Amino acid sequence: MAINTACNELGQIWMESGVSENAVSGHIQLIIPGETACFACAPPLVVAANIDEKTLKKDGVCAASLPTTMGVVAGILVQNVLKYLLKFGTVSYYLGYNAMQDFFPTMHMKANSQCNDRYCRIQQEAYKKREAERPKVEVVEVEEEEVVHEDNDWGIELVSEVTDAELQAASGTVPDLPEGITVAYTIPTQESPRGDMVEETEQSLEELMAQMRKL
């Protein structure tokens, strides 16, 4: 809380992290004074209720999980710091870690207008003033130009979707379907020509194979 107050007073951007009492979850948080929630905007229960940490029960805590979870959270914190300083990737404003379910919740918490830290409220007013003075960027809609190719060696054409009437005229009848459902094709009503098929014959398979060898 002391570091949080000092950073709010100076307007210093910083990151904090922590591991829960059960040693199997933790989080990291990027704090931008006035813009995002500070440590006092949404403090842990032990801080908000002003509970003495020595009175907290730690039943069922796995001693081996605590340093492991701390190592994971510390690694995520350092990676987030590097992304912010070196300006690459997506910087996480808040990233949690649940080791029991391998779950990484993320969110963006805004500053609390009723924060108990006086310097945080001052930074919020300064941020609102900066945002109001910032020139608004007009969004210009770019019209997509129609693509026209001078050459069309392959004869490719764009055609409209086939309607039910066109399908019915081209082949068989269109079945009755619910509204919004159409068929892609229908079964032709007449049999297709069989000119390219082999005519039936009474010759045996051996005789046909003998004829093929003579070709």
Q: Which domains, from first to last, does the chain contain?
A: 2-133 (3.40.50.720)
Question: Mind listing the pLDDT tens digit for each residue in 107-153?
Answer: 988 999 989 899 999 999 999 999 888 888 777 788 877 777 777 77
Averaged pLDDT, 70-93: 95
Strands of 25-31's sheet in order across: 14-19, 25-31, 94-98, 106-107
Residues annotated catalytic, as ranges = 62
* pTM to 2 decimal places: 0.57
| Spatial distance between the Cα atoms of 79 and 32, rounded to a whole number of angstroms | 18
Amino acid identity at 110: K
Torsion sign over Cα 98, 101, 104, 108: negative
Averaged pLDDT, 153-167: 69
